[in-house]
Amino acid sequence: MESWRDAQLGHWLRYSLCNSWYKYERINLAAICAGCNMKDDAITLKRLGEELQRRHGFDALDVIEIENQLLSGGKMETWQIVDYAARLRPDLVA
């Protein structure tokens, strides 16, 4: 990857398996090259997990799995999505 602009958003816990918040939670996300993001193989997942542990602590992967399970079946309400987006990008909210 020559530039971060070439990156895609990689999810340690796959997007399709995330419940509500974990689709967008930073602890579950990292920039990843498009080729690796499409592979979805064990080596890529291991490396992504190691990077998230380095950034967020050794127990980060356990936190992701446990909290994601706690949110199972839940649905984000529109106001929660707006509130969450405002915390991520306060410059976009009037």
pLDDT given at position 54: 96
Q: Which of 12, 55, 10 is nearest to 31 (CA)?
A: 10
- Tell me the per-residue pLDDT of 21-46, one tens digit each, with 9 for 90 and over: 778 888 999 999 888 888 878 898 99
**Residue the block writes with tokens 């974990």:** 22
Bridge partner list, 33: 7
pLDDT given at position 83: 83
Task: Name the 3-class secondary structure at 9.
Answer: strand
- Tell me the per-residue pLDDT of 51-66, one tens digit each, with 9 for 90 and over: 999 999 999 999 999 9
